[in-house]
């Protein structure tokens, strides 16, 4: 049975049901500043709860990656490797009656190249390296030269952009990158000229603006000192009541030590909310006290809580950002732990489906008739246009192109 706590010690016990939000709701706000104070407290409590949820989910997410996703990925790589070896064996069958026609061979080689390109290079062994050298040969020099010349001509004719002799680039992609750099350098020169013009125009008022800036900086530094003093005042009141050296009862000393540690940690972190909650726990303040905080002190509290909320928002975003990037989630769209977990489950299910498909094909492709039936209905995707990146260059060119000067209206 739990031993009852004496009245002299009960106020030093942490109250599980105590909530600063609930306490503030007990009294009517005396002003808009008090209303803002209550809203900030509620937001901070909400962010803390959200942060706890995400931090706990990071552990669960990593566990699911190791226990559920990685085994499926391993099966997929194994299945892909087996499929590569099978396709290579089919293409090199020595028996004439089992050889494929030219159309089927083209389709089969297309599948084989796609698999080779999908496999990460770090998974390569001697067999896969041989397959890569056999089926993923580099373009002959003449084809590469024609591609470079065509890219150069398109850049000149479509964008009026001269990137020089194509002989300096190793590939069409490298030539496009040179074009991109040329455009970006032009944009930077334009921006620099604009900054220079603005600097010349603002030089006349520089002395007056610097004096105003200096005065504003002095006011900000003074405000920071006052805000820090308000935080120290709350901490000192707590320290005065909780210092364990002043307690003769051993049990009370231990409880005060724990509470004092919480106060020290909160003070070092500029965590006003926890300090105020501690004051509530030991009954230093109550709802009426919070509702009647003087305007200047309340303004300091608001400044501290605003910074605290911003830090929590930043910490929460650091926790959520990797998931947002992985899912290509829109920045302004809320992302929940449930949504991330559902996407992970969907990814695992989709990957398992792909593995099942490869394993079924490994069986089917060993039968020449079923292999021909599968290839008969396979439609090759049209080759990807190697000049799709020109669309991005077009966007840059829209910024790079000089704008027509405005006509002055005649009066």
Evaluate whether residue 226 is within a structural domain. no
Flag whether pLDDT at 28 surpasses 80. Answer: no
pLDDT category, 27, cuts 50, 70, 90? low
Q: Give pLDDT, residue 181.
A: 79
- Tell me the average pLDDT across 263-269: 87
Asked whether residue 195 is assigned to any structural domain, the reply reads: no
CB 234 within 8 A of CB 300: no
Distance, CA of 267 to CA of 290 (rounded, Å): 19
Q: What is the mean pLDDT of residues 138-158?
A: 67
Report yes or no on 217 lying in a domain. Answer: no
**pTM of structure:** 0.58
Task: Show the tokens assigned to 113.
Answer: 């190249």
Q: What is the pLDDT of residue 18?
A: 53
Q: How far apart are CA 271 and CA 52, in angstroms?
A: 17
Report the half-sphere exposure of 56 (CA within 13 A, side-chain side): 9
CB 308 within 8 A of CB 270: yes
Q: What is the pLDDT of residue 2?
A: 33
In the predicted model, what is the mean pLDDT of residues 237-242? 84
Q: What tokens were used for 369?
A: 């008739």
Q: Can you give the pLDDT at residue 288?
A: 72
pLDDT at 17: 40
Q: Indicate the range of 31-40, 115-124, 325-334, 355-364 predicted with least confidence.
A: 115-124
- The CA–CA distances, whole Å, from 158 to 162, 173, 393 equal 11, 17, 11
Question: Can you give the pLDDT at residue 53?
Answer: 95
Identify the residue with better confidence: 165 or 45: 45
Assign 8 a pLDDT band (cuts: 50, 70, 90).
very low
pLDDT at 184: 78
Q: CA dihedral defined by 139, 141, 147, 152, rounded to 10 degrees? A: 140
Residues 233 and 236: their CA atoms lie apart, in Å, by 5
* Cα–Cα dist 306/298, whole Å: 12
Q: What is the pLDDT of residue 359?
A: 92
Give dist(CA 349, CA 352) in Å, integer: 5
Distance CA 150, CA 129 (A): 32
Cβ atoms of 35 and 295 within 8 Å: the answer is: no
Examine residue 154 and state whether it is found in any structural domain, yes or no. Answer: no
| Domain containing residue 360 | 31-137+306-377
SS (H, E, C) 366-381: CCHHHHHHHHHCCCCC
Chain mean position to CA 313: 14
Residue 411 lies in a domain: no
Lowest mean pLDDT among 335-344, 376-385, 395-404: 395-404
What's the confidence (pLDDT) of residue 385? 47
To which H or E segment does residue 67 belong?
Answer: none
Q: Please report the pLDDT score of residue 384 as a whole number.
A: 40
Count of the separate structural domains present in the chain: 1
In this structure, are residues 344 and 66 in contact, taking their beta carbons and an 8 Å threshold?
no
In a domain, 130, yes or no: yes
In degrees rounded to 5, what are phi and psi of residue 191?
A: -65, -40
Q: Which of 4-8, 42-46, 195-199 has the lowest mean pLDDT?
A: 4-8
Reply yes or no on whether the pLDDT at 84 is more than 80. yes
**Percent of the chain having pLDDT more than 70?**
73
For residue 72, what pLDDT band results from cuts at 50, 70 and 90? very high
Look at 19 and 350; give whichever has higher pLDDT: 350
In a domain, 110, yes or no: yes
Give the model's confidence band at 59: pLDDT under 50 very low, under 70 low, under 90 confident, else very high. very high
The answer to whether residues 299 and 36 touch, using CB atoms and an 8 Å cutoff, is: no
CB atoms within 10 A of CB 188: 10
Calpha distance 221→132 (Å, rounded): 65
Residue 401 lies in a domain: no
Q: Return the minimum-mean-pLDDT range out of 18-32, 269-283, 288-302, 305-319.
A: 18-32
Q: Answer yes or no: is pLDDT of 264 > 80.
A: yes
Distances (CA, A) of 85 to 91, 107, 164, 365: 10, 16, 45, 12
Q: Return the pLDDT at 158.
A: 67
Q: Report how far apart, in Å, the C-alpha atoms of 144 and of each of 110, 151, 331, 397 are.
A: 21, 11, 41, 26
The residue among 398 and 344 whose pLDDT is bigger is 344
The more confident residue out of 41 and 14 is 41
């Amino acid at each position: 049975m739990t031993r009852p706590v004496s009245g002299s010690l009960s106020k030093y016990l942490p109250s599980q049901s105590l909530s600063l939000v609930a306490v503030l709701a007990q009294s009517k706000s005396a002003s808009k500043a008090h209303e803002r104070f209550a809203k900030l407290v509620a937001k901070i409590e909400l962010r803390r709860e959200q942060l706890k949820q995400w931090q706990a989910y990071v552990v669960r997410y990593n566990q699911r990656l190791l226990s559920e996703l990685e085994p499926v990925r391993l099966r997929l790589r194994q299945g892909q490797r087996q499929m590569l070896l099978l396709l290579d064996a089919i293409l090199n069958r020595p028996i004439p009656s089992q050889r494929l026609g030219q159309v089927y061979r083209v389709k089969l080689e297309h599948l084989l190249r796609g698999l080779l390109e999908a496999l990460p290079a770090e998974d390569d062994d001697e067999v896969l390296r041989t397959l890569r050298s056999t089926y993923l040969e580099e373009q002959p020099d003449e084809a590469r030269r024609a591609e470079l010349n065509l890219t150069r001509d398109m850049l000149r004719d479509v964008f009026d952009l001269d990137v020089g002799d194509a002989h300096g680039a190793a590939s069409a992609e490298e030539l496009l990158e040179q074009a991109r750099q040329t455009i970006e350098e032009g944009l930077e020169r334009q921006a620099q000229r604009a900054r220079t013009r603005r600097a010349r125009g603002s030089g006349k008022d520089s002395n007056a603006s610097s004096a105003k800036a200096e005065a504003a900086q002095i006011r900000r530094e003074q405000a920071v000192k006052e805000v820090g003093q308000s935080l120290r005042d709350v901490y000192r009141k707590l320290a005065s009541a909780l210092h364990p050296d002043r307690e003769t009862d051993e049990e009370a000393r231990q409880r005060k030590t724990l509470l004092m540690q919480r106060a020290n940690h909160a003070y070092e972190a500029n965590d006003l909310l926890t300090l105020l909650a501690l004051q509530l726990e030991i009954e230093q303040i109550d709802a009426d006290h919070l509702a009647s905080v003087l305007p200047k002190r309340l303004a300091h509290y608001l400044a501290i809580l605003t910074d605290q909320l911003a830090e929590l928002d930043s910490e929460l975003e650091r926790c959520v950002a990797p998931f947002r990037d992985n899912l290509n989630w829109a920045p302004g769209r809320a992302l929940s732990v449930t949504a991330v977990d559902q996407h992970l489950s969907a990814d695992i299910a989709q990957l398992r489906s792909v593995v099942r498909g490869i394993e079924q094909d490994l069986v089917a492709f060993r039968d020449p008739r079923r292999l021909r039936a599968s290839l008969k209905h396979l439609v090759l995707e049209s080759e990807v246009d190697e000049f799709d990146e020109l669309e991005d260059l077009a966007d840059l060119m829209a910024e790079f192109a000089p704008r027509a000067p405005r006509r002055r209206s005649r009066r």
